[in-house]
Amino acid sequence: MTSPTYELTVLGPDDLSQMRQLNALFGRAFDEIDTYSGEPPDDGYLTKFLGRPHVVVIVAVEASAVLGGLVAYELEKFERRRSEFYIYDLAVDAAHRRRSVASACIERLRTIARERGGSVIFVQADPPDAPAIALYQKFGVAEKVLHFDLPL
């Protein structure tokens, strides 16, 4: 098995270009160009977004191009000192699928979640999206609502 040629990066407030690349990638991958590119936020908004401590954005980068990535939110719990992480969006550019990019992003999020005292990662998938469902089933257990718990 060869090592990946891409690098995973956790984005911060100064990584606007990569966030914009990821946003455009989401639009293409989900076939929702207008949703993701129709009214792009200004630099100030994105800088503030990427600086929020509960926001985790992970991208896979190769030759300065974003190949894929995810956006997750840390949800602090009140009943116990712990948090849950919700994967809001995850996608890989069509030309770079089958290179373990999505799995690598999830694994990086698992590490971050463990470091922050997380108890679980969860993600939703639509029933027609068989590739997403197959990916998430490698990591966790599907509930009838197609909500996935990804144990740490």
Domains contained in the chain, number = 1
Residue percentage of the chain with pLDDT more than 70: 96
- 90 lies in some domain: yes
The CATH number of whichever domain residue 92 belongs to comes to 3.40.630.30
- 1 lies in some domain: no
pLDDT tens per residue across span 13-40: 999 999 999 999 999 999 999 999 999 9
* Token couple for 81: 């000192």
pLDDT tens per residue across span 135-151: 888 898 877 665 577 87
- 70 lies in some domain: yes
Contacts of 16 (CB under 8 A, 6+ apart): 43, 46, 47, 50
Range of the domain at 56: 7-151
- 72 lies in some domain: yes
- 134 lies in some domain: yes
- 12 lies in some domain: yes
- 34 lies in some domain: yes
pTM of the entire structure? 0.89
- 122 lies in some domain: yes
Q: Which sign, positive or negative, has the C-alpha torsion 92, 147, 76, 150?
A: negative
Q: Which of 95, 29, 87, 30 is nearest to 62 (CA)?
A: 95
Under a CB-based contact definition with an 8 Å cutoff, are residues 57 and 11 in contact?
yes
pLDDT tens per residue across span 43-100: 999 999 999 999 999 999 999 999 999 999 999 999 999 999 999 999 999 999 999 9
